[in-house]
Every structure is written in structure tokens, then in C-alpha cells.
Amino acid sequence: MNRTERRIGLVQMRCTSDQEQNLQSAIEGIREAAAQGAQIVCLPELFRSLYFCQSEDHRMFDLAEEIPGPSTKAISQVAKELDVAVVASLFERRTAGLYHNTTVVIDADGSLAGMYRKMHIPDDPLFYEKFYFTPGDLGFKTIPCKYGKLGVLICWDQWYPEAARLTALSGAEILLYPTAIGWHPSEKAEFGKAQHESWELIQRSHAVANGVFVVSVNRTGHEGDAEGGIEFWGQSFAVAPDGQILYRASETETEVQVVSLNLQQMDVTRTHWPFLRDRRIDAYGGITKRFLDGESI
């Protein structure tokens, strides 16, 4: 393996109501990415089902599984067979009445390298995640695997610079965001362009501010009521430490794309833009408060 090159496979999926079909589609995506030379493969958020958080329905808890469980077993087998690491987002049943939105990193030998539980839980129209998920308790961290130091976050986490910063400070070379985000069809014409550009812009800013690569993998397709629901906007992408887009998928198509990242670019970017050097860590105490109410720091 080239010491500084990492090849990341982005698997943009269209999910269905058939959990087994979704799992097989994900495995096919992993295989296709590996055939293209991927070392690390990232799947979308909650890829095993339709995005069930569009409503508050107790029956949906039946979709959850334990970790380790059926999905991690199946993915571990293919990861070991293909010698790739896989980032996979799952609906975790921790115990009766306790559920998380969790991403696992399966290493290239099939072992569970680590897991991250989503910290920021949204509660917006058609994104009723607080009904289902307990906020994560594993913190922001880096998960080492055969092919690098991975910082794994999930969807709504991508709007928070604190999450990206703390994960980068823990040693991550690549921030990966399994994602399920899209438009309310009734809003798309008026707000769609701004919503998508804001989503992409905030993640590009994480790359610049922290001098790391960022990879965001979304689903695509319409899910839910024909007159409403969510139109997932696809457009999975990878960003260099200088904020430049290395790859962007289409809005509507399922895609498997491998992107080459040169980790040496991190060092070049961080020495030319030494944001980590110039941080005033002695002056940031206020960041741990909810709001300052005019108080000076």
C-alpha cells in the first residue's frame, strides 16, 4: 500500500422496504468498490431500511438489531474476503427500550474496529429521530483500522463544527458522514438549492478548518407519501483538506465511486494554513455553555 494514498469507496444507495434486499445491495456495492480498488468503503445512514423516522411508529423498533448482529456478521465476512474496511450505519438495539443510531467500522480482517453512536439527534418534520434514538455516549473519537485513522460521525452531526473539531483533534485523517438527507418536495423549488448548498458548504468548511478529508455518503430516491415524503438528494461527495470537491455523485442515480486521497496533502495544508497551531485554547471556555447572554469571555 502506498504510504500516503487512501482509496475510499462511496456507495450511494436507493433503499427499499426489504431489509435483506438492502443488505445485499450494500454488499454488492462493497464488492464493486473493492473491484475498483477501494480500501475503505462507506455506506449511507440506516441503509438497511427505508428512512423510518418520517413518522413516530412503535412498530419501527422491530427494525433494530444488536451489535454484533446479522448486519455486522454479513459485512464482516465480505470485508475479510475482500480485504477492505467498511463503515456501516445501523439501527442499534442496545437493550429493551434503549436504541441508538450507530455506525460501526469493520476492519479488513473482519473484526469490529470500533463504533460511534450519533450524538446530535434531530427532531424536525419527517425527521423525528428523537422518538427512536438515545443520544450517543461514546464521545467523538478516531477509530483506527488497517487503512487509516477514521473519524466517524452521522448525518445531523455534520452541521456542528464542534463535532468535526473534536474528532479531528483525536487524530482522524478522514471524517466520514453516513447520511440520509433530502428535500421536502413541497419546499424544493423555493428552498432546495440553498438547503443543499448549505449542507455541502458546512462540510467543506470542516475540511478547511481542520485540515482533513471529508467524505459524505447519502441515499437517493423518493421515500414516503407520494404527495410528500422525502426526496433524498444524493450528491454524495468527497472533499480535500483545502475544501476542494474531489467527487460529487448525481442527485438521482445509485453510484459506486472510488476516490483517491493523498494524506500528504493534510501536512501541506496544515503547515500553510496553521489553524491548529494558532487556536487560542485558553480563551474558548465559553464554548461549553448553552448561550452566553451577553457575558464576556
- The three cell numbers of residue 27 are 454488499
**Is 188 labeled as catalytic in the residue annotation?**
no
3-state secondary structure of 161: helix
**Is 231 labeled as catalytic in the residue annotation?**
no
In whole angstroms, give the CA distance from residue 198 to residue 159: 9
CB pairs under 8 A, 24+ apart, for 193-201?
Answer: 196/233, 196/235, 199/158, 200/235, 200/237
Could you say which of 15, 53, 92, 118 is catalytic?
A: 118
In whole angstroms, give the CA distance from residue 205 to residue 207: 5
In whole angstroms, give the CA distance from residue 68 to residue 90: 11
Are residues 201 and 207 in contact, defined by beta-carbon separation less than 8 angstroms? no
3-state secondary structure of 232: strand
3-state secondary structure of 176: strand
**Is 118 labeled as catalytic in the residue annotation?**
yes
Could you say which of 42, 53, 145, 155 is catalytic?
A: 155
Could you say which of 42, 45, 145, 231 is catalytic?
A: 45
In whole angstroms, give the CA distance from residue 52 to residue 50: 6
Active site residues: 45, 118, 155
